[in-house]
């Protein structure tokens, strides 16, 4: 079930600690103790986060080594990238609109400043006459 799988992935990613764990694992595999170090939380709390990540298929844990290293599994992230990629044109459109708006602002500013310069020049020349 693709839909539910994607929901599980999004749920797993909806937590800053879990995202930080993935960032750490992007550098290479790590034990639970190593993963817990930078966070001010208990080992059971980390284990709970790892369970959520593992259920979503975002990490795997070796059954061989005694320290059971965790490893990043990127396939669900690719699904996220594909899902969100379908909306790319919407944020590109809003940038285009912002870009147009900024260009209009600049044009208006330039026109205003040209008018103001012309006025100053006129005032000057009137004063000099």
What does the binding site for a copy of itself look like in residue numbers (CB under 8 A)? 3-4, 6-8, 10-11, 13-16, 19, 22, 26, 72, 74-75, 77-78, 80-81, 83-88, 90-91, 93-94
Smallest distance from a copy of itself to CB 95, Å: 9
Smallest distance from a copy of itself to CB 49, Å: 13
- State the DSSP H helix or E strand holding residue 60, giving kind and residue range, or none if neither: strand 59-61
Token pair recorded at residue 66: 């005694």
C-alpha 78/C-alpha 121 separation (Å) is 62
Q: Which is nearer to a copy of itself, 7 or 117 (CB)?
A: 7
Smallest distance from a copy of itself to CB 118, Å: 40
Give yes or no for a contact between 86 and 98, defined as CB atoms under 8 angstroms apart.
no
Q: Which is nearer to a copy of itself, 81 or 114 (CB)?
A: 81
């Amino acid at each position: 079930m693709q839909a539910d799988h994607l929901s599980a992935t999004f749920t797993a990613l909806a937590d800053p600690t879990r995202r930080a764990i993935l960032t750490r694992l992007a550098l290479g595999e790590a034990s639970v103790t190593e993963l817990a170090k930078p966070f001010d939380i208990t080992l059971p709390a980390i284990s709970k986060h790892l369970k959520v990540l593992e259920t979503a298929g975002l990490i795997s844990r070796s059954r061989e080594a005694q320290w059971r290293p965790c490893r990043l599994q990127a396939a669900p992230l690719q699904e996220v990238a594909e899902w969100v990629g379908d909306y790319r044109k919407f944020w590109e459109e809003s940038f285009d609109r912002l870009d147009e708006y900024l260009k209009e602002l600049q044009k208006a500013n330039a026109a205003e400043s040209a008018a103001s310069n012309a006025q100053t020049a006129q005032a000057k020349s009137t004063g000099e006459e």
